[in-house]
Amino acid sequence: MTAIDPVCGMEVDESTAEWKTTYQGQTYYFCAAGCLKSFEKEPAKYAAAASQSEQHPGHEHSHGEHRGHEA
């Protein structure tokens, strides 16, 4: 299973991830020690960003861009 590094956005294989940490009961996986270190400095910032991307995977447009989809 893959996870997204909350610092850089890179995909990380959970089964082989060398760098990981737990914050508020959730495990986060990192591609490198530098990303883990950045997360540990500001965990709330990166955890919030990670939860946003999990709620809207691949959701990179603004909601104002939904044109032509009226019900």
pLDDT score of 54: 67
pLDDT score of 70: 43
- Amino acid code (one letter) for 7: V
Degrees (nearest 5) of the Cα angle 50, 51, 52?
A: 90
Whole-angstrom distance, CA of residue 52 vs CA of residue 69: 23
Q: What is the pLDDT of residues 9-68, one digit of tens each?
A: 999 999 999 999 999 999 999 999 999 999 999 999 999 988 877 655 544 433 343 344
Confidence of residue 2 (pLDDT cuts 50, 70, 90): very high
